[in-house]
Chain A
Amino acid sequence: MAAAEQTVEQVDLSRSTVRELNQRLHDAADGGPQSWRITHPNGLHAIGAGINAPLELEIDGHVGYYCVGMNKEATVRIHGNAGVGLAENIMSGTVTVDGDASQSAAATGRGGLVVVRGNAAARCGISMKGVNIVVEGNVGHLSGFMAQKGALVVCGDAGEALGDSIYETHIYVRGSVAELGADCIEKELGEFHTAELTGLLAEADVDANAADFRRYGSARKLYNFNIDNADAY
């Protein structure tokens, strides 16, 4: 086993199907290659979905929809762009995209870290529930919509309706915000949040100063925050 763990398993998706690859990645939870290099992803869907082991994955090229969805423990690096729903419902581990990510990156993510070196499109971190997201570029409209937990760090600009109907996620933006969503307000960047942000930037290997960011969060004024409405649920 020791020898197998040291070698890098190569999978060429122009020769093998995503279904075969994903089955092998799932089987690796019970032993087998721990380090993988995937070539010719060619925009295929659901590459590496459902990994449940501390594997190392390098993907050379652009991936399609729902890449490494539900990821648990694996460290994934995508040398290209990602399609809709990157690392959807990520549980833990780290997913890094060298290029851009399409809409709904890290949607509903419960844990782990997602790093986008380029821009993320609309709905980044929609309904996030504990994942941390660091975007070096910009994010599109409705990012952090109904975001419940975790942190969304945007080193560039944010589009319209940022943090609409947000719960307890911490949002940090260095650039401009086109428009804040309903019930999302700017908040003080205190000591706790500066430390959290500094830690996330370091973890994501981003050279930026926490003091240059502004923090946004929930005003907690929407209907669901009012105790008098508790009976309605």
Chain B
Amino acid sequence: MSESSPHLVVRGVSKRYGPTTVLDHIDLTIRRGELVTLLGPSGCGKTTLLRAIAGLAQPDAGKVELAGRDITNVPPHKRNVGVVFQSYALFPHLTVAGNVAFGLKVRGTAKREIDTAVERALSLVKLGHLASRRISALSGGQQQRVALARAIAVEPDVLLFDEALSALDRKLREEMQVELRRLLQDVNATAIFVTHDQDEALTMSDRVAVMNKGRIEQLAEPRELYLRPASLFALNFVGLSTRIHGTVLAASDGKVDVETKVGRLSALGNFQAGSPVIVAARPEQLRLGEQGEANSAAGRVRSVVFQGSRTLVEVDAGAGESLLAELSGRDGAIPRVHDEIRLSWPVTETFAFPMEALG
């Protein structure tokens, strides 16, 4: 099978629990060897989608195909998926090696093959020395690795991670993100991560699916997701932004002029004149002072937050609007609180979103 052919295909999958629509006609295609994150707030349906792929939740409509096989009605134990749960769900009555061997044992693999596979899986997660330990004698980070080794040992067609790193403390989590990504790339695994942590999504994935209310709002590479958010929700959920309310005055081929309370601004977007919109820009696009054709707005500095390599400056632009600028030391003087300043940013990095999408 070639690298680019579809490996996991989710087609029109819907799921309702009582009156609540948890998944609303989800379409998702993942290539072999791809690492994809389902990112969204709790209740957006990301875990249900993962469970539908694993066979732990039966969709009301739609199809799931894995490695060229329709698995929509296949029970979980015949799907050949690997799941790493948030709570790890390691079997407390088995040792580390016993947990890793479990999937192979129930498949009836020969003893010698099991031993080899367990050894390899444990060395992959650097836990070979703890094979005979009991699960209760392991730290959270070690348990996470055992859960990963157990899922990898059966060589599943797809690995599914349900908030698998969220139980770890921040420093360990950040280390594991990098290590896990490298490890999964080494074994050429196809994996789906479910998380509400945008940093985790941006660090670990080839593509990120931003989910909201049972739908995928945007499926894009992390860089594109950040630079070209497709919706106000995606913009808000990933990274920081300046957002200003306004009304479209004039529109021409993908660009709009917007009347706002902080002045006239230009943005990318397709709207009819008179439409209420929200104009947005990423904070690192905002610079001190005027620049020729760029958008600009003035105001009084409300707060200055120093964060090492960058400084976040929040400006009260009046009329309830505020500007958020991320200034690096290279930009020269950092303003102080109460300073009156003017900020400008390029039109090509300014986006207009429909107002009604807010919320």
Are A and B co-members of a single complex?
no
Q: Which residues of A come within 8 Å of B, CB atoms?
A: none
